[in-house]
Structures are given as C-alpha cells and as structure tokens.
C-alpha cells in the first residue's frame, strides 16, 4: 500500500477538493447501511473463516486489481518528456539560439557541433533526473503495509495488504493501520483515529450496527460508525472486518489522485544546495558577462564570445548539483534498507550524522527478543531464594517432581493470563514475546494450553502505566481473576500466598521480604521477573481498573531470559568511541536493567547515579532531569510518558536525540525525537507512522549502521561538491585569464561543454556512492549548524582549482611558444590536459583525509567505470575523425599522452601530500571534521 499522503500541510491547501472527493459514492457508503448478515451474503464470506476458496480470491483480484493507490503511469511518454526538457532550461535555449545563428551565418560545422553538444548535455541531465525520481519512488515501497488475514479458515500474520480482495476477513488490534475499507463485524472497545482522513483529532468510536441512512443525502465519512477506513489507525480495542473496498475504491483512494499532485517539499539539504547553486550562478553570470564584454572590446568575434559564454554558463553553473544530492541521498537510503534500516523520510538522513544521544528500549532491540522462562519460584514449595528452580539445568523427568499444587497454579496462571495465539500455518505461537514464553514453558512440564476449555469473562489489559494484566474466568457461577505483572505491583496488593498443597495462608512482612529478595536475585542475573497471583471476585464487582484488585493471593515468580544480541556490544563500543551517549530505557527492574547494561558495554560506574527509576522521574521537572541526565545511562521501570520527558530534557540541553519505540504510547516520544526509530517486527503501525526510521530486524546494531551511512553520505556530498566546484572555478578562471591577458581562448565552446558533461555526469555521481569509511564513527557527531561548504572544503577545492589552472595554462603557453600560433594541436593538448586533470581531481576527491591507496584505488566500482568511460570518450574526441571535426582536435602521440598524464597528476599528488600532512598532525586517525578550519 502506498505511503499515506495525508498531512496537515497538504490538507490546508486542498480541504475543499478533499471534501468533494470524500462525498463521492464508494463501497463504504454502500455498505455502511447494510447489516453484518447482508454484507456477508453480498461477498459470500464468513465472520470466522473469511472467503471460502482461493478460486474466489483470484477471480476478485482479476476484477478489482491490487489493493494499493499507486499512481497510474504518467500519461506523457518518456520520449515526450525528454523532448520537453530542451525548452525548460534557459541556458539550453541560449545554446539552441547559438546553433541557429551559426547555421544562418553559414557555420554549418559549428551548428552541428553545438546541436550534438546540446543533445548530450540534455541527455545527461535527463538521465540524472529520471534516476532521482525512480530512486525516490523506490523509497515509497520500503515499508509495505501488512495485516492479519483470515482466509479459508486459516489465520495468517504479516500478510501484505496489497493482496487483499473484497470479501476478505481482517483482524485488527491497538496500533494497527486499517489495510482497506472494512465493514466492521466485530468490535470490542474499538476507537479509530481518522484524523488523516477527516482532520478530526478525536478518535471515533466504532461498532457493528448499520448506519441509519438519512432521507436527504448520505452520511459523511465521520458518521459511518460501522466502517473502518483504509489508512486510519486503531487507538483502542480490537475487532474484525470484511473488506468492502480496495485500492482506489476506498475513501483513501477517492482523494489520492488529488493529493498526489501536491509537490513534496525539498529537504533542508536540497534547499541549501539550491541556494548555493543560485549564489554560484549569480557570481558565474557576472564573471561570464565581463569575459564576454572584454573579449568583444578586444575585437574578438561576438559570435565566438557568445558561444563560449553560453558554454561557460552551462559548465560553470552547477545546475545539476541539487539532482546529484537527491540521487546520493536516495541511493544512500536504499543502501540502508538493504542493511535493515528503512528511512521513511529523506530529511532524516541529514539528521543521522548529528545524533549524539540514542535512547533505546532493552527488550527486542538490545536483546534477542526471544524470551524463555529459565527460572521459577513459589513461596510454598521452594521457601527461600536458594531454592529457585533452574529449568535450563533440569530435564523433563526432573521437572515433573516440582509440579506441586502451587507450581502447577503458577504455570496455569501464566497460561490463562495470556493473549498469544498458535498459528497452524507457521506452527508456532504468535504474540507478545513474554506471552509466548509463558506458553512455551508449559511443554517443559508436559502441560497443555488450557484456554480452549475455559470462559473468559473480562480482561484488564497490560499497559506500561498499569504494569499489571488481569484475566477474569467464570466457572460454576464463580469469577476468578488471574493476574501477572511487576512484582512490586503484585506485592503491594497481595495479602495471602499459595502453599505447596494449594492452600491459602496469610502473607506477613518477612515472607514479603523473602519474595522481594528472590525477585531481586533473579533480576540481578539480567532476568525479566514477573509475579503471578489470583483473586476470587466474591463481591461480583466489575473489574475496570487495577484499583479494583485487592487481597491478592501470591502464587510465584518467573524469571525470563532474553540474552543480548551478539552484535550489540561491538555497536555500543563504536558509538561510545564516536561520543554518542547511549541511554537504555526499560520497564524492567533496576537490577535487571543494570545487569543487561553491563553485559552489552553501557558504562555503569555508580549504580545509584547511572540508573534512575520511573518513580524518581515522576518527581523531577525538565530542568532537574536535564541537569543530571549527562551521567545517566539507564532508566528503569519507565513508561512511554517518561520517554517523552527524557526527550524533552535532552533537547533542552541541545542534544540531537534518536529514540526507539514500538507501542502506541511510544508514538509521541518518537515524533518528538529528532530521529524516531520504530521496530519492524514488534512495532505497531502507529509507532511506525510516527517514526522516521524502521528497523526491520529490531536490532540495535542496525542503528549504528544507519548513523554510519548518514555520516558517510555527508562526506560523499562534500567530496563531489569539492570536485564539481573546483572544476567550475578552473574552467571559469582559465577563460577569464586568457581573455584578460588578450590570449586566444584555450578551450572552444564544444570542449567546455564536454568538460561540463564530465563534471555533472558519471564521475560526479560515482563520488556520491563511495563506500562508507567505517572510521567515520570515530568522529564526533556533526553539529546542526555546520555547513556543507565549510572553510576546509573551500580551501581544498581552491587548491585543486589552482593546480588545474596552472597546469593547463602551462601546457597552453608551452604549445603556443613551440609554433608561435594557436593550432588544433595546441587546443587538443590543452583540452586533454584539462580533462586528465579532472579525472585525477575526481580520484583525489574520493576521500578527504585518507590516501587513495589506503582506501583502495579500485574499491568504488562505479567510479572505476565512470572514469574509464570518460577517458574512453576523451580518446574518441581526439582520435575518431567524426569527433575531431566536432571538438576541433587532432591525434596526439603516446608521448604527448604520457606527458599530459604526468602534468595532470600533480593535482592528485598535491592532495595526497595534503592528506599525509593532515594524518601526521592527527595520529589518532580521526576522519575529516566538517567544521575544521
């Protein structure tokens, strides 16, 4: 499914058109007035099994098409788009005018040459822009929408929403994005956020009842209470729905064409490049105008000066710079996607290089996200913390000996207080990792899932604030609540405990202290500790909140193991080396959090200072938190609200914050953070929507990869900027000097245009995809205020330009002195010298501080291909008779070429010497610092 185009900015511009589009007839309007039974009959489907056969699915897919709102292919053909490109650039129009004037005045050769040059220049620009558009289009498909589908009686999770057809049965829960227009057939406490469709921020309550259609007109979108719209977000509850509309037959699709016409704003970096291009263009136009006037006053042909001026304008003005920046950013994002980090918004790439604080979840991000119950303990059977049952060291026969009444009740409570499901298709449990672990441990004791034989009366769901989940079971007119949660919360409400024989005894302070010590002992080993209890609802009171729970019977504890991911320690080490502050935020106990932090390399010098609990956070304001957060690495027993406070405190200090999250309640913090990072596997659609980046493997080390790529992209942009501008400066200065000294122009118009092709063409683009130098992570994060075109970059490009100018002028003067006049050989030598300088300059620009021999001369395959192609083109220009007539060149000897290579290599040698001096003065081997002078 395509990325949601609805945004507050775009709605402000097109609200009237959007309302008109939403009022058009569509399936949601047709079926909102139908009962559930009528809808099922219309689509020949079922509320439990969905569509009965794949044959029907295939028929409907053929009829209705794929469930996406992708734009139709542009009505203009590629050839016509190419042709219209010739009329879009004023400089190209000037060149066309120059060719026409040459033709009228009888200079047929010049007219043909300029025409060919125009075709080549426009083709290069068109290919660049086309590539940029295609790269950006590819970004829209990096995060395909998924759904929970029930078809032919089989439930499947993670199914692509694009495969849905009318009549399919879809299940949805809190945090999910609705994948198509659905007629709701089951709703439990269901509210849906439709703000991206209607503009109303308040979630809408949904039910299964048909809408009573008014006599005059039709109910508007917000009044269709039994319809869930494609692209909207489930805020509360859960339910099921029958697909009634897909793709452009949805309310989303009704306005998609209108919304897709809105041009996306450029990134700050692209805007900066646009401004730089305009500033350089203005300077170039002034210089070129002066050159042209000076040449005419000197008595030179006005047509020649006009052609050279226009050619200089095309070559010197970096009109392709924003396009190359876009291509570089887009290709960098695609590389990140291949490395499991999907950047959803292009501007985020610019922020990655500035991140100096990473706030990360523990479970699933720093750890492997596969929970297994490794230890259990019950007060009745085991009596003290030395007798904790280690499941990993026992075999099944031994474990059965521990199945006393309290241990059995402990396992049963974990079984009942559970929402994980078993997938027949994938043949495994699906759901929250903690719930899955509680079901998997049953097999160790030869117990089976008992939920099919019981009647669930109510449920108090687990939340980050509540830290407790309760499930009500009704049996023999008696309601019993089974409870699991943080041991502190359970102990606060527990008054009794279950004995080995299954009897209830009074819980005193010493026994409570024993339970607490046992839980702390498990947590100290890095285990997630859950406590379990039960409560008989003798009052028949409806349980609606945790305050309604009391007089709990404590049953036992379970310690769950979720080991750190193998690559996390190395990633943490590299990030710390690069001055990135890593903060672990978890809902676990402080002891568990500190243990895991030490295992993965997060520094914990003093536990009291390095770790803050949620209770302490509640009594701290932003200023207090900002003052101490510099040495805090762990936040334990934290809630999503705490995440929000932490982000605010960090940003108040001026930090650039990356924040990870996966739940609905994490969305505000993800949106507030400079880089919001959601989990691709466990993350809800709400979290993904609020985030800037999605980790498809939920692995912390992938964040390192993304930051590394972000920093590398900026290095590459600086490198090709150095290459392009040094060539522009050299070309302008060369013609300006020759004109000022009343010398013949060393380069003709065609040769200048060829140099422009090299500067804006493959060599420049290949610098944008230079492999990332891993040492970039040793460099501190880039400041927000740092510019791309720094003083260091300016010095470097001006130095390269001076070498190119001096070397080329030397060859030009030397050749003139040899024969006393300007011949085609002189211009050929000068032209070839400049092109060779360009190639050596491009080679030098591959890295700002490292020797090319250290990073690998042939490491960048695209660069090798681009330079090889450029050299081959230059050889054609001086040896192929057809091109000789166009460029006004003649053949050179092998000695000439070797001599030119020696002269032009000086720009490369000089840059290698500069790098050597820099490295000798900076033995720590730190890569180029953006703001360095």
Domains of the chain: 9-69+145-261 (2.70.150.10), 271-337+706-919 (1.20.1110.10), 341-368+565-698 (3.40.50.1000), 380-557 (3.40.1110.10)
Contact 610, 387 (CB under 8 A): no
Separation of alpha carbons 107 and 748, rounded Å: 15
The whole-angstrom distance between residue 467's C-alpha and the CA centroid of its chain comes to 31
Measured N-to-C along each axis, helices 268-297 and 701-740 cross at an angle, to the nearest 10 degrees, of 10
Q: What are 45-49's contacts with CB under 8 Å, separation 24+?
A: 45/167, 45/168, 45/169, 45/242, 46/169, 47/169, 47/185, 47/186, 47/240, 47/242, 48/150, 48/153, 48/169, 49/150, 49/152, 49/153, 49/169
Give kind and range of the element (H or E) at residue 753: helix 749-760
Q: What is the 3-state secondary structure (H, E, C) of 450-471?
A: CHHHCEEEEEECCCCCCCEEEE
Query: H-type helices in 231-267, by residue range?
Result: 251-254, 256-260
Q: Longest C-alpha distance within the chain, in Å? A: 115
| Radius of gyration, CA atoms only, the chain | 35
Q: Which residues pair with 357 in a beta bridge?
A: 581, 657
CA torsion angle for 766, 767, 768, 770 (degrees, to 10)?
Answer: 90
Report CA dihedral (68, 69, 75, 81) to the nearest 10 degrees: -90
> What count of other Cβ atoms lies within 10 Å of the Cβ of residue 395?
9
pLDDT of residue 255: 60
Q: Which residues contact 111 (CB under 8 A, 6 or more apart)?
A: 99, 100, 102, 103
Up-side HSE of residue 417: CA atoms within 13 Å toward CB? 26
Closest CA to 168 of 45, 41, 59, 35: 45
Nearest to 653 by CA among 626, 690, 632, 618: 626
CB distance 39 to 244 below 8 Å: yes
What does the alpha-carbon distance between residue 623 and residue 824 come to, in Å, rounded to a whole number? 74
Q: Is 357 helix (H, G, I), strand (E, B) or coil?
A: strand
Beta strands in 124-260 (DSSP E): 146-151, 154-160, 169-172, 181-193, 204-205, 227-228, 233-245
Query: Cα 488 vs. chain centroid, distance in angstroms?
Result: 38
What are 491's two structure tokens?
A: 């102990």
- Note the pLDDT of residue 466: 79
CB atoms within 10 A of CB 729: 20
Encoding tokens for residue 862?
A: 């695209």
Give the pLDDT confidence score for residue 73 in this predicted structure.
47
Rounded to 5°, angle at Cα 438 from 436 and 440: 65
Are 388 and 375 in contact by the 8 Å Cβ rule? The answer is yes
Cα–Cα distance, 733 to 740 (Å, whole number): 10
Query: Strands 227-228, 181-193: parallel, antiparallel or unpaired by DSSP?
Result: antiparallel
Nearest Cα to Cα of residue 589 among 523, 516, 531, 633: 523
Closest of 348, 319, 334 to residue 128, by C-alpha = 319
Q: What is the distance of C-alpha 730 from the center of its chain?
A: 39
Q: How far apart are CA 617 and CA 629, in angstroms?
A: 11
CB 19 within 8 A of CB 162: no
Instruction: Return the beta strands (E) in 605-739 as ranges.
Output: 611-613, 634-636, 657-661, 675-679, 693-695
Asked whether the beta carbons of 353 and 347 are under 8 A apart, the reply is no
Please give the pLDDT value at position 615: 87
Measured on CA atoms in the order 692, 693, 699, 700, is the torsion positive or negative?
Answer: negative
- Cα separation, 210 vs 185, in Å, equals 10
C-beta of residue 464 within 8 angstroms of C-beta of residue 395: no
Give pLDDT, residue 164: 93
Three-state secondary structure call for residue 635: strand
Give ∠ CA 304-310-311 in degrees, rounded to 5: 85
Q: Which residues contact 253 (CB under 8 A, 6 or more apart)?
A: 69, 230, 245, 247
* Cα 834 from Cα 805, distance rounded (Å): 8
Catalytic residue flag (residue 361): yes
Q: Could you tell me the two tokens for 235? A: 């805020």
Packing angle of the helix pair 302-316, 108-139 (nearest 10 deg): 10
Pairing mode, strands 227-228 and 428-430: unpaired
Residue 900, burial from CB neighbour count under 10 angstroms (0-12, 13-18, 19+): buried
- 194: exposed, middle or buried (Cβ count in 10 Å: 0-12, 13-18, 19+): buried
Q: Do 517 and 510 contact (CB within 8 A), yes or no?
A: no
SS3 assignment, position 73: coil
Helices (H), 86-237: 90-104, 108-139, 195-198
Determine the pLDDT at residue 880.
92
Which of 85, 115, 81, 83 lies closest to 97, judged by CA?
Answer: 115
* Secondary structure of residue 585 in the 3-state scheme: strand
Catalytic-role residue among 110, 168, 361, 699: 361
- Nearest CA to 534 among 456, 588, 479? 479
Interatomic CA distance for residues 658 and 693, integer angstroms:
10
What global pTM score does this model have?
0.70
Residue 329 dihedral angles phi and psi, to the nearest 5°? -60, -45
Please say whether the beta carbons of 776 and 577 come within 8 A. Answer: no
Beta bridge partners, 341, equal 695
Distance from C-alpha of 112 to C-alpha of 575, rounded to nearest angstrom: 58
Q: Alpha-carbon distance 277 to 194, whole Å?
A: 42
As a whole number of angstroms, the distance between CA 456 and CA 474 comes to: 6
Q: CA–CA separation, 928 vs 662, rounded Å?
A: 36
CB distance 39 to 185 below 8 Å:
yes
DSSP letters, 842-872, are HHHTT-SSS-HHHH-TT--HHHHHHHHHHHH
Q: What is the mean pLDDT of each run of 10 residues along the chain (933 residues)?
A: 39 48 72 91 92 92 83 60 69 64 64 68 66 58 76 85 92 87 88 75 84 75 87 84 89 63 55 67 71 75 68 59 72 82 79 88 81 90 76 81 89 91 76 87 90 83 80 86 92 92 91 92 89 85 76 94 88 89 88 89 85 89 87 88 89 89 79 88 77 86 87 84 85 78 77 74 80 81 76 89 93 84 88 93 91 88 89 92 87 94 95 90 53 33
Strand partners, 693: 343, 677
Q: Is 524 helix (H, G, I), strand (E, B) or coil?
A: coil
Q: Which two three-digit tokens encode residue 632?
A: 């805090």
Using an 8 Å Cβ cutoff, are 812 and 746 in contact?
yes
**What DSSP state is assigned to residue 392?**
G
pLDDT for 93: 64
């Amino acid at each position: 499914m395509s990325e949601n185009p609805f945004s507050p900015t775009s709605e402000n511009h097109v609200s009237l058109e959007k309302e008109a589009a939403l009022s058009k007839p569509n399936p949601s309007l047709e079926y909102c007035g139908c009962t559930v039974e009528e809808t099922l009959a219309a689509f020949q489907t079922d509320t439990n099994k969905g569509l009965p056969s794949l044959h029907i699915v295939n028929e409907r897919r053929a009829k209705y098409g794929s469930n996406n709102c992708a734009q139709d292919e542009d009505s203009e053909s590629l050839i016509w788009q190419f042709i219209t490109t010739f009329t879009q650039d004023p400089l190209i129009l000037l060149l066309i005018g120059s060719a026409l004037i040459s033709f009228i005045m009888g200079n047929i050769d010049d007219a043909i040459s300029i025409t060919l040059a125009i075709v080549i220049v426009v083709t290069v620009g068109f290919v660049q822009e086309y590539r940029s558009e295609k790269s950006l289009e590819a970004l829209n498909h990096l995060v395909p929408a998924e759904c929970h589908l029930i078809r032919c009686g089989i439930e499947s999770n993670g199914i692509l929403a694009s495969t849905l057809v009318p009549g399919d049965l879809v299940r949805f829960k809190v945090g999910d994005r609705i994948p198509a227009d659905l007629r709701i057939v089951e709703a439990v406490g269901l509210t849906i956020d439709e703000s991206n469709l209607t503009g109303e921020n308040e979630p809408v309550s949904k039910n299964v009842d048909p809408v009573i259609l008014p006599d005059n007109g039709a109910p508007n979108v917000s009044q269709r209470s039994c319809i869930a719209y494609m692209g909207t977000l489930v805020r509360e509850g859960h339910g099921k729905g029958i697909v009634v509309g897909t793709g452009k037959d949805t309310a989303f699709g009704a306005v998609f064409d209108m919304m897709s016409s809105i041009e996306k704003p450029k990134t700050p970096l692209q805007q900066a490049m646009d401004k730089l291009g305009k500033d350089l263009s203005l300077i170039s136009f002034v210089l070129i105008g002066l050159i042209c006037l000076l040449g005419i006053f000197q008595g030179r042909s006005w047509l020649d000066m006009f052609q050279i001026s226009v050619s200089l304008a095309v070559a010197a003005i970096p009109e392709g710079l924003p396009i190359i920046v876009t291509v570089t950013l887009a290709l960098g994002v695609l590389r990140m996607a291949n490395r499991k980090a999907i950047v959803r918004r292009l501007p985020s790439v610019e922020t990655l290089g500035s991140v100096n604080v990473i706030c990360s979840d523990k479970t699933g991000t720093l750890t492997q996200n596969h929970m297994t119950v490794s230890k259990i303990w019950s007060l009745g059977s085991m009596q003290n913390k030395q007798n904790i049952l280690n499941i990993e060291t026992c075999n099944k026969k031994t474990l059965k000996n521990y199945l006393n009444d309290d241990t059995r009740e402990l396992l049963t409570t974990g079984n009942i207080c559970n929402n994980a499901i078993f997938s027949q298709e994938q043949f495994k449990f699906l759901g929250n990792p903690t719930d899955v672990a509680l079901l998997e441990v049953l097999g160790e004791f030869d117990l089976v899932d008992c939920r099919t034989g019981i009647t669930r009366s109510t449920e108090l769901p687990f939340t980050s604030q509540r830290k407790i989940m309760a499930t009500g079971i009704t049996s023999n007119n008696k309601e019993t609540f089974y409870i699991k949660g943080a041991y502190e919360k359970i102990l606060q409400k527990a008054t009794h405990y279950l004995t080995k024989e299954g009897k209830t005894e009074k819980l005193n302070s010493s026994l409570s202290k024993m339970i607490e010590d046992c839980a702390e002992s498990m947590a100290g080993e890095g285990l997630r500790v859950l406590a379990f209890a039960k409560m008989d609802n003798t009052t028949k009171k409806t349980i609606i909140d945790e305050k309604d729970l009391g007089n709990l019977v404590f049953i036992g504890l379970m310690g769950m193991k979720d080991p750190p991911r193998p690559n996390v320690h190395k990633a943490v080490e590299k990030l710390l080396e690069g001055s990135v502050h890593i903060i672990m935020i978890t809902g676990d106990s402080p002891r568990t959090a500190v243990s895991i932090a030490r295992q993965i390399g997060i520094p914990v010098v003093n536990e009291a200072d390095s770790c803050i609990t949620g209770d302490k956070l509640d009594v701290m304001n932003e200023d207090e938190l900002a003052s101490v957060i510099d040495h805090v690495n762990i936040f334990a027993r934290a809630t999503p609200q705490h995440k929000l406070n932490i982000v605010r405190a960090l940003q108040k200090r001026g930090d650039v914050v990356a924040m990870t999250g996966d739940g609905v309640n994490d969305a505000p913090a993800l949106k507030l953070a400079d880089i919001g990072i959601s989990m691709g596997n466990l993350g809800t659609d709400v979290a993904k929507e609020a985030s800037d980046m999605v980790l498809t493997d939920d692995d912390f080390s992938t964040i390192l990869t993304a930051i590394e790529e972000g920093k590398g992209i900026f290095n590459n942009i600086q490198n090709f900027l150095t290459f392009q501008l040094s060539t522009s400066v050299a070309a302008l200065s060369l013609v300006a000097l020759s004109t000022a000294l009343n010398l013949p122009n060393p380069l003709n118009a065609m040769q200048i245009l060829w140099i422009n092709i090299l500067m804006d063409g493959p060599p420049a683009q290949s610098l944008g995809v230079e492999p990332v130098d891993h040492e970039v992570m040793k460099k501190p994060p880039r400041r927000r205020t740092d510019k791309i075109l720094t003083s260091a970059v300016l010095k470097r490009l001006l130095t390269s330009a001076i070498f190119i100018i001096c070397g080329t002028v030397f060859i030009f003067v030397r050749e003139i002195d040899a024969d006393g006049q300007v011949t085609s050989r002189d211009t050929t030598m000068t032209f070839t010298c400049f092109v060779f300088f360009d190639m050596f300059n491009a080679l030098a620009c591959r890295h700002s501080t490292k020797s090319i021999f250290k990073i690998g001369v042939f490491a960048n395959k695209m660069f090798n291909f681009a330079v090889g192609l450029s050299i081959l083109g230059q050889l054609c220009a001086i040896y192929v008779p057809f091109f000789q007539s166009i460029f006004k060149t003649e053949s050179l000897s092998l000695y000439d070429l070797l001599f030119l290579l020696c002269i032009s290599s000086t720009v490369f040698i000089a840059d290698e010497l500069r790098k050597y001096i820099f490295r000798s003065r900076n033995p720590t081997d730190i890569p180029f610092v953006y703001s360095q002078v």
